[in-house]
């Protein structure tokens, strides 16, 4: 499972789509598939792409405006993924979800079956929140939580979150020169949670490090490892599988009592 955030898909200076990075991401995932590794991609970016198409130079505040931009941007985002994956002889299929999809037993099972069938067909599932109808953006946290929930749903072994930092630091590296990268986390305790800083880094994404730790709790409790790595260079994906990367590795700590529905209902 690979999750990439909006900030990692656009040029920092302009907020416009970085086509080279998107193509490299498709190439990296295609190569992993060629190695025999099934990959599901959870991709943010619909609103960011919609902003570019509609000529917005800032992230809108009104929810209907965000949802309208997502409607425009999601179609273009998938068209780009399908084009880039086809360059490497692979296909992409769209899976849109909301929090209610996960809460409903029938819908949740249908999503699980759909993703498994896409794997069987050799298609890369590209999952995103259905921002056009979804109102749970804060809870899902820019797809960090969604990626962990899908990881749990399909029983993935590993979740890789690509973001705009190398991983979890002991303090905010933007304001503390003594901050150090935490490379391994065996347990997400109060000490780890105290390291979190959610000072906004851009106006593109909505997720901060706290949502990534939340995702790590879900993924590890479900029996999956999770890695946070810098999406500035998406070739980090193959380096992760060669153990030649900088990042934070959260080790699986399966909780037999963890239940997706119970987690989401408690989070209402």
Enter the DSSP assignment of 181.
B
- Phi and psi of 248, rounded to 5°? -115, 125
268 Cβ partners below 8 Å, 6+ apart?
Answer: none
Query: What CATH class has 2-266?
Result: alpha beta
Please give the pLDDT value at position 125: 98
SS3 248: strand
Please report, for the chain, the start and end positions of each structural domain, with discontinuous segments joined by +.
Answer: 2-266
Please give the pLDDT value at position 16: 87
Strand 225-230 relative to strand 247-250: parallel, antiparallel, unpaired? Answer: antiparallel
**DSSP secondary structure string for all residues of 44-113:** --HHHHHHHHHT-SS---SHHHHHHHHHHHHHHHHHHHHHHHHTTT-EEEEEEE-HHHHHSHHHHHHHHH
Structure tokens at 17: 């789509």
Please give the pLDDT value at position 140: 57
Is the C-alpha dihedral spanning 177, 191, 167, 10 positive or negative?
Answer: negative
Mean pLDDT of 133-154: 75
Please give the pLDDT value at position 134: 61
pLDDT band at 118 (very low <50, low <70, confident <90, very high): very high
Q: pTM of the prediction?
A: 0.90
Q: At residue 137, does pLDDT exceed 80?
A: no
Strand 184-185 relative to strand 2-4: parallel, antiparallel, unpaired? Answer: unpaired
- Between CA 107 and CA 95 the distance in angstroms is 12
**Over the Cα atoms of the chain, what is R_g?**
17
């Amino acid at each position: 499972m690979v999750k990439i955030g909006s900030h990692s898909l656009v040029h920092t200076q302009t907020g416009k789509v970085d086509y080279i990075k998107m193509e490299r991401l498709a190439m990296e995932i295609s190569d992993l598939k060629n190695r025999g590794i099934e990959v599901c991609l959870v991709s943010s970016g619909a609103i960011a792409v919609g902003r570019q198409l509609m000529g917005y130079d800032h992230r809108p505040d009104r929810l209907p405006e965000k949802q309208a931009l997502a409607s425009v941007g999601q179609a273009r985002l998938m068209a780009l993924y399908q084009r880039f994956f086809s360059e490497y002889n692979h296909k992409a299929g769209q899976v849109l979800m909301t929090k209610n999809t996960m809460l409903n037993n029938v819908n949740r099972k249908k999503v699980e079956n759909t993703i498994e069938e896409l794997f069987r067909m050799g298609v890369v599932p590209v999952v995103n929140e259905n921002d056009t109808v979804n109102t749970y953006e804060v809870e899902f946290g820019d797809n960090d939580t969604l990626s962990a929930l899908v990881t749990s749903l399909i029983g993935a072994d590993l979740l890789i979150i690509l973001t705009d930092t190398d991983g979890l630091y002991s303090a905010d590296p933007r304001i503390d020169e003594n901050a150090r990268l935490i490379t391994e986390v065996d347990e997400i305790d109060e000490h780890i949670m105290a390291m979190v800083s959610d000072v906004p880094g851009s106006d593109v994404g909505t997720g901060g490090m706290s949502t990534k730790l939340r995702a790590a709790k879900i993924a590890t409790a479900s029996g999956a490892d999770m890695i946070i790595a810098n999406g500035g260079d998406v070739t980090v994906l193959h380096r992760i599988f060669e153990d030649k990367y900088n990042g934070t590795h959260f080790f699986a700590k399966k909780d037999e009592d963890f239940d997706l529905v119970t987690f989401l209902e408690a989070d209402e």
